Chain A
Amino acid sequence: MTTETLIWLIPLPPILAFFLIVLFTNRSKALSHTIAIGAALLSWAGSMVVFWRAINTPELGKNPILSPYKWLPIGDGWFNIGVQIDPLSAVTLFFVAWTILMIFIYSVGYQNYGQPEGDHDRPGLPPHGATVTDASGHHHQVPSVEPMYSRFFAFIGLFAFGMYTLVVSDNLLTLFVGWEIMGLCSYLLIGFWYGKPSARVAMIKAFMTTRVGDVFMLLGIAYLYAQTGTLNYRAILYNEETLHTLASTPSGFLGMSTAGLIGLLLFIGAVGKSAQWPLHVWLPDAMEGPTPVSAMIHAATMVSAGVYMSIRVFPLLSAGMHEGGQLTSAMMVMAFIGAFTALFSATIAVAQNDIKRVLAYSTISQLGYMIAALGIGAYVAAAFHLITHAFFKALLFLGSGSVIHGMEHGVLHTGDHIDPQDMFNMGGLRKKMPLTFWTFLIGGFALSGFPLITAGFWSKDEILADAFGHGHWAVFITLAVAALLTAFYTMRQITLTFLGEPRTKAAHHAQETTWTMTLSLVVLAFFAITAGWAGIPEHFPVIGGLVPNWFHEFVGSTLLEHPEGVEFSIWPLLTSLVVALGGLALGWYVYRDIRAEAPDPVEKALGPVHKVLKNKYYFDELYDFLFIKPAFWFAETFTSAWMDRGVIDGFLHRVAQAVGILGNFLRNKIDKRIINEWFGDGIGNSIRQVGQDLRPIQTGKIQQYMMFGLSVLAFSALFFYFFVMRPF
């Protein structure tokens, strides 16, 4: 099969699985997950073949694998869509395929396949557990299977379709199609347990917040299309002439060039999708969804799509900038938003107790890293961090899901109604769940940037080195502080969850999860370490140059001008080491000995600041006050009641009433009075009156009639004689 055909085929199996499950197999759990995982496996295999062929294609950056197809007839020509694999999409395809497949497999265990049906479970609510009786007649509470098991696999199948479509697209329009389909799936899966009011709110919040970004992105796409007549990457982003034209045409908006404004509009889409400040509020709430969803959609793939798109349109964002020169205004906006978000959400993560929420804020923070990296022009570093992050963050989320699962087991076993996601209810899980512990540790260290071994170190270090090397001090310092906080809250999480002694009975009875879940953890842990080795800088002390910096060479060739690697400097490396190790050590030191019911030491230390952090700087409350309530008032009261019913209908009613009054006037005053009474009735009455007046002469006496007749005759004769004949 040709590579082009294969690329076309990659997104198809998951969408077929979606339709098959929805239409036919939704009653059979086994069949449904077999179809879904089979589809994911097919797409994975296809992706691996394509990836292999791609990295063996010489000069892939200059000659990507392309296959366009006519889609929309416009005027005399066609709008083409198509697939393409260039270095950037090849490496993206690689991590997407792996994480998606792993998460599909993990979901089987997570949704309790093979467990009995729940006692009171119903669709729309998480399974509550089932009672089983063992051989000796004892009743046990065990986890029960998800009632909407098949539906879950259908939805994640649709999601996988969206993500693959986005990655293999050769143009912004089909990228947007995949983007929005993922948005829908994110909505559906956050609200997978739609019976919970909190999930119902979270799903809408996620969809609407990202939609704010999406409408800007749509404008950006329309703008770009209007300016260039195409949306194809090759035709715009790898075309110096087009880029130059776009960069030199003023947009008439705040002195930005057309390229900059389009780039910024597109970037706002990424702000929504990748949950950057100020559109970050949806992602923590998205943790309402099942954990595989959090791992796949809200950590590894969909939220990465925003960064992927920004990396993709980087030539547009940076158009007009020369190597080492002044950043474009669009890039400055990105650098600011990214760095600010990285620090801002890292501070929030410190004060969260829910194991998944910590990870959610950490995701926002890491995505901020990538955006900031792009903002300072560190193209390859951003892409590198995108990939390593996808692996270790998916691993962490799946690990947290495994922890929650183990805890739920304990909760059901003991019957204590405690929150299985609160880290202060855990502790000592390393002995109960060793595999989960070790893989989580790897993921956590990768996130913290633990030196040399983990992938996160290499990618984070590259970003810091780039910021340092190009003298972006503000970004460098902000990111370094954020890295310190990251290491701190990660170690806090690991310590609270796994180390020490169990703080509750439930934690004491926690259990390692099934192989379907732990298998995925192991595979992702492998990549959380090795993915970093693909991009070791050549000038790194001792080990630099042992393996070639393949990643830089390969992904860098996506750009028209191959970006230069930064000069090696010891300072950013030292900073990296200090913040990572320091943060980890501090985290361990502060939380090493937390007893049951003990308060958070950081809470004491920070005082009121902690409350602000815990409440996420009150952004939810602020947005509710500023946007949501006014919007609803505007809709319900202003538009619907006041304007439509009051003003417009009121005006129509007034007109109708005036016509009615006029009609009544015509009827009562003119028709009735004048025409009927005066004219119509008047004539009748007067004729009757005349008749009545004449009645006396109708006496019935023939002589009188004769006299009357003769008188008339005589008068007539006289009249005739005098007036007609006129004898005189």
Chain B
Amino acid sequence: MDFISSHLLTLILFSPVFAAAIIFIIPREQENLIRWSALVLSCIPLALTISLWFGFDRSLEGFQYQEMAVWYSAINSSYHIGVDGISLTMVLLTAILTPLSILASFSIKDRVKSYMILFFLLEMGMLGVFLALDLLIFFVFWEFGLIPMYFLINQWGSEKGEREIWGGRKIPARTYASFKFMIYTMAGSLGLLLAIQLIGVVSGTFDLPELYKIWPMLEKPLLGLPVSTVKSIAFWAFTLAFAIKVPVWPFHTWLPDAHTEAPTAGSMILAGVLLKLGAYGFLRFVLPLYPAESNYFAGALGFLAVMAIIFGAFASYGQSDFKRLVAYSSVNHMGFVVLGIAAAAHSVGSENANIAMNGAVLQMFNHGLSAAGMFFLVGVIYERTHTRNLNDFGGLFPLIPVYGGILMFTSMASLGLPGLNGFVSEFLVVRGSWPVFTVYTALAMIGLLFTGAYILRGIKQVLHGPLNEQWVGHLSEINTREILVMAPLMVLMLWIGVWPAWILDVINRAVAMLF
């Protein structure tokens, strides 16, 4: 027990690898055994995370459950991991969504074994990003997560569809999407790696808690450049990498492609967790390491966030592909996260900053729940009808009433209906950013209005209206397994909507201590 509690984070981080190893030794023909083992094994990180949640002392400042081991002593980089309230919520989100995604993947028929192994590796990569307290370790996990996702989209993505690139050339849509996802993120990471090295060279360490203390105070010029220039360059390198990942407008076009082409569970994780890596990067690195630059450039970031909110909503409204509609909704919702972060960066130390930041972190968690739910529901209907075109549905409510009810519920959470989770976080962001960026916040309301428009359009085209007779007798109701995927998400959405204090308290304390 002592070992477990003193190495809890390492266990959480590498239990997915252990799971992958177990799956590896199961013969590939035993598909059902693989599925069930994967589900059971994916509950190990969840169980450990829950014990972490209860073991975490929310009144303490700084990182807890820290572990430190020698890793790359020549350049002073070490295996240093730990959690605070912000990373804890993100770890919880990852640990919750992974078993659900695996349960959602039971309908995968093709190369189940490789699929599950990749999924566990993906989980490890994401957990590593949230737990790392060393810049190099962080970067390793950051890049590592890309690879399983690339293969999941490239190999298990939707088989139909082509995308025209240039000169009339057409390539399969999933190839296009996986490439775009990979290359775009890598392009952002390049600068990130250089900036990390720059920090390492200048300050002689990659250790985050130490850097928090020394880097913002740093006055030493580098390569003959004044320190402010160096910091600005490094700031933008970080920002660009995270902005692509979030994604902030106008770096968002990889997202609809990747989300649309990924397999259902892949989209759940992409929207649920991977997008949060970018926002988390802002919170963990950009704001604490570059307080002055963040403050200076917050207006620009806020502007981009508002553009994401508005254009994300409009783009979503303009889609005729159900999954693309949901994909664009992520741009819209993550815009609120970034708006909150920008507002907080601009007014550090004020009550507004605290509220905006609370809203941003909670919105990350909430979006993880609702986006994963929405993608899953799109997947459920796609598996049955093999179409995602909104015009092919219509009036399906009488055929699939339970599915309809669940879709309605999840859509409303996504829309930000008071009483469900999305409202709490959006309200906090709006409240926090109103005094800071009044005009931007007012403009963001256009996005909020059209959030309603696209959500209702989705419901209208799928569930309401005259019944499309084509599906009578061909469309089966959502099954128990699928309901089990949705049930925990729905419970959490309602719970956070009605009584958010259980999670917001953890976030609030962490935010108050950090900023």
Q: Which residues of A contact B (CB under 8 A)?
A: 22, 70-76, 122-124, 173, 176-177, 179-181, 184, 187-188, 191, 194-195, 197, 200, 203-204, 207-208, 211-212, 215-216, 218-219, 221-223, 225-226, 229, 631-632, 634-641, 643-644, 648-649, 652-654, 656-657
Closest Cβ of chain B to A582, distance in Å, is 44
Contact of A177 among B252, B314, B418, B442 (CB under 8 A): B418
Q: Is the pair A71, B501 in contact by a Cβ cutoff of 8 Å?
A: yes
Q: Would you call A75 and B442 a contact (CB within 8 A)?
A: no
A124-B397, A653-B165 as given contacts; A632 in contact with B354, CB under 8 Å: no
What is the CA–CA distance of A225 and B358 in the complex, to the nearest angstrom?
16
8 Å CB contact of A216 from B317, B352, B445, B456:
B445
- In the assembled complex, the Cα of A200 lies from the Cα of B467 at a distance in Å of 12
List B contacts of A221 (CB < 8 A). Answer: 427, 431
Name the distance in Å between A125's Cβ and chain B's nearest Cβ.
Answer: 9
Q: Which residues of B contact A204 (CB under 8 A)?
A: 456-457, 460
Residue in chain B with minimal CB distance to A165:
B419
- What would 5 A/B residue contacts be, using CB atoms closer than 8 Å? A74-B358, A75-B355, A180-B423, A639-B318, A644-B252
Structural contact, B504 and A73, CB atoms closer than 8 A:
yes
For A123, A211, A222, the residue with the greatest tally of chain B CB atoms inside 10 Å of its CB is A222
Set of chain B residues within 8 Å of A180, measured between Cβ atoms: 417-419, 423
Whether A123 contacts B398 in the complex (CB less than 8 A), given A75-B508, A194-B465, A219-B442, comes out as yes
Q: Which residues of B are found within 8 Å of A212, using beta-carbon distances?
A: 449
CB distance from B181 to the nearest CB of A (A): 12
Known A-B contacts A75-B508, A75-B512, A635-B314; the reply to A222 vs B500 at CB < 8 A is no
A152 to B48, CA, bound (A): 44
Measured CA separation A330–B167 after assembly (Å)? 59
Interface string of B386-408 (1 = CB under 8 A from A): 00000000010110010001001
Contact of B427 among A76, A218, A636 (CB under 8 A): A218
| Residues in A whose Cβ lies below 8 Å from that of B505 | 73
Q: Is the CB of B253 within 8 A of A648?
A: yes
Taken together as a complex, chains A and B put the C-alpha atoms of A649 and B165 apart, in Å, by 9
Fill in one digit per residue for B13-53: 1 if any A CB lies within 8 Å of its CB, else 0.
00000000000000000000000000000000000000000
Which chain B positions have C-beta within 8 A of A631? Answer: 314, 317, 450, 453
Query: Contact at A208–B456, with CB atoms within 8 Å?
Result: yes
Assess whether A73 is in contact with B501, with CB atoms less than 8 Å apart: yes
Asked if B188 CB lies within 8 Å of chain A CBs, one says: no
Whether B424 sits at the interface, judged by CB under 8 Å, is yes
Minimum CB distance partner of A162 in chain B:
B419
* Complex alpha-carbon distance, A443 and B253, angstroms: 59
Residues of B in contact, count (CB < 8 Å)? 64
How many angstroms between the C-alpha atoms of A68 and B467 in the bound complex? 48
Q: B253, A644: Cβ atoms under 8 Å?
A: yes
Given the known inter-chain contacts A122-B398, A225-B431, please indicate yes or no for A76 contacting B512, CB distance below 8 A. yes
With A195-B465, A640-B319 already in contact, the answer to whether A215 and B448 are too (CB < 8 A) is yes
**Complex Cα–Cα for A226 and B450 (A):** 25
Partner of A124, one of B358, B405, B467: B467
Complex Cα gap A197–B464 (Å):
8
A272 to chain B, nearest CB (A): 11
Known: A75-B351, A635-B314. A652 touches B253 (CB 8 A): yes
Q: How far is the CB of B351 from chain A (nearest CB, A)?
A: 6
6 tightest A-B contacts by CB? A635-B318, A636-B318, A640-B318, A177-B418, A635-B317, A194-B464
Inter-chain CA distance A470–B463, complex, in Å, is: 54
What is the total of A-B residue contacts with beta carbons within 8 Å? 159
Q: Are B467 and A632 in contact (CB under 8 A)?
A: no
Say yes or no: is B62 at the interface (Cβ < 8 Å to chain A): no
Residues of B within 8 A of A641 (CB): 318
The answer to whether A634 and B314 have CB atoms under 8 Å apart is: yes
In the complex, what's the smallest C-beta–C-beta distance from B231 to chain A, in angstroms? 28
Given A75-B512, A218-B448, A634-B314, decide whether A226 and B417 contact each other with a Cβ distance below 8 A: no
On chain B, the residues within 8 Å of A215 by CB distance are 445, 448-449
Residues of A contacting B405 in the complex (Cβ-Cβ under 8 angstroms): 22
CB distance from B167 to the nearest CB of A (A): 8
Is there an interface contact between A226 and B435, defined as CB atoms closer than 8 Å?
yes
- Write the nearest CB–CB distance from A213 to chain B, whole angstroms: 10
Given known A-B contacts A73-B501, A73-B505, A649 and B467 have beta carbons under 8 A apart: no
Whole-angstrom distance between the alpha carbons of A187 and B460 in the complex?
12
CB proximity of A169 to chain B, nearest CB, Å: 12
A173/B397 in contact, CB under 8 A = no
Q: How far is the CA of A314 from the CA of B473 in the complex (A)?
A: 57
Cβ contacts under 8 Å, B428 to chain A: 72
Complex interface residues of chain B between 477 and 515 (CB less than 8 A to chain A): 499-501, 504-505, 508-509, 512
Interface residue from A123, A632, A638, A657 paired with B401 (Cβ < 8 Å) = A123
**B186 interface residue (CB < 8 Å to A):** no
The contact of A70 among B355, B501, B508, by CB within 8 Å, is B501
Q: Which of A203, A211, A644 has the most CB of B within 10 A?
A: A644
Task: Known contacts A123-B398, A180-B419, A184-B417; decide if A197 and B465 are in contact (CB<8 Å).
Answer: yes
Given contacts A191-B464, A218-B448, A644-B253, 19 further A-B pairs with CB under 8 A are A75-B351, A122-B398, A124-B397, A124-B398, A194-B464, A195-B398, A195-B464, A207-B456, A208-B452, A218-B430, A218-B445, A219-B442, A221-B431, A226-B431, A632-B317, A634-B314, A635-B317, A636-B318, A644-B315
Q: Of B256, B408, B424, which is within 8 A of A72 by CB?
A: B424
| Complex Cα gap A222–B405 (Å) | 31
Whether the pair B397, A194 counts as a contact (CB closer than 8 A) is yes
- Residues of chain A contacted by B456 (CB below 8 angstroms): 187, 203-204, 207-208
Q: Considering only CB atoms, which chain A residue lies closest to B351 in the complex?
A: A75
In the complex the two chains form, is A648's CB within 8 Å of B250's CB? yes
CB distance from B344 to the nearest CB of A (A): 12
Q: Given that A123-B398, A194-B463 are contacting pairs, would A74 and B508 also be in contact in the complex, using a CB cutoff of 8 Å?
A: yes
Docked complex: B61-88 residues within 8 A CB-CB of A: none
A619 to chain B, nearest CB (A): 19
Q: Could you tell me the distance between the alpha carbons of A264 and B427 in the complex, rounded to whole angstroms? A: 19
A124–B460 Cα distance when bound, in Å, is 13
B311: interface (CB < 8 Å): yes
Question: Does B172 interact with chain A (Cβ within 8 Å)?
Answer: no
Contacts of B463 in A (CB 8 A): 194
- Of B167, B253, B434, the residue contacting A226 (CB under 8 A) is B434
The chain B residue with its CB closest to the CB of A628 is B453
Inter-chain contact A200/B431, CB cutoff 8 Å: no
Q: Give Cα A654–Cα B166 distance, bound, in whole angstroms.
A: 8
Find out whether the CB atom of B166 lies under 8 angstroms from the CB atom of A653.
Answer: yes
Flag if B465 contacts A200 (CB, 8 Å): yes
Give the complex CA separation of A682 and B308 in angstroms. Answer: 56
Which residues does chain B contribute within 8 Å of A188, judged by CB atoms?
408
Q: A211 contacts B398, CB within 8 Å?
A: no
Chain B residues 415 to 467 lying within 8 A of chain A, measured CB to CB, are 417-419, 423-424, 427-428, 430-431, 434-435, 441-442, 445, 448-450, 452-453, 456-457, 460, 463-467
**Chain A residues, CB < 8 A from B418:** 176-177, 179-181
Most buried by B among A176, A177, A653: A177
Does B412 belong to the interface (CB within 8 Å)? yes
Query: Whole-angstrom distance between the alpha carbons of A641 and B434 in the complex?
Result: 32
**Could you tell me the distance in whole angstroms from the C-beta of A253 to the nearest C-beta in chain B?**
10
Decide: A74 near B464, CB < 8 A? Known: A181-B419, A222-B431, A632-B317: no
Across the interface, name the chain B residue whose C-beta is closest to A180.
Answer: B418
A208 touches B434 (CB 8 A): no
Residues of A within 8 A of B441 (CB): 219, 222
Residues of B with C-beta under 8 A to A22: 405
The residue from A75, A177, A222 contacting B419, defined by CB atoms under 8 A apart: A177
User: Inside 8 A of A653's CB, which chain B residues have their CB?
Assistant: 165-166
Determine the distance from Cα of A226 to Cα of B356 in the docked complex, in whole angstroms: 12
Chain B residues within 8 Å of A649, by CB: 253
Residue among B180, B184, B452 with max Cβ neighbours from chain A (10 Å): B452
Chain A residue with Cβ nearest B180: A652
Residues facing A in B174-214 (CB within 8 A) are: 180, 183-184
Among candidates B355, B442, B457, residue contacting A74 with C-beta atoms closer than 8 Å: B355
